[in-house]
Amino acid sequence: MYVGRDMTELTMMSIDQWSDKELAYFHHGLQQMTPYLNSEGVSIHREIIREIEARGGLHQEATWTQGTKPHYD
């Protein structure tokens, strides 16, 4: 289960202040709803994708307890 700031709070701040987990969570959710998004939703999703790309993707170093994919839940 996602524990973090909701979309209402996040839209009040610059997207470069979002954490990687927040970007991953909302990217995944919006990606699942893509066919149903209105133009504002599509615009927000594009901003999230651009920010993920600007950060070089969503990567983390693997350890003994976690893999390379960031878990947001």
CA distance linking residue 39 with residue 61, whole number of Å: 35
- Predicted confidence at residue 58, as pLDDT, reads 81
Judge whether 11 and 32 are in contact, CB under 8 Å: no
Helix (H, G, I), strand (E, B) or coil at 3: coil
Q: How far apart are CA 56 and CA 70, in angstroms?
A: 14
What pLDDT was estimated at residue 18?
Answer: 95
Grouped pLDDT means (10 residues each) for the chain, 73 residues = 89 94 93 96 96 87 66 62
pLDDT at 61: 66
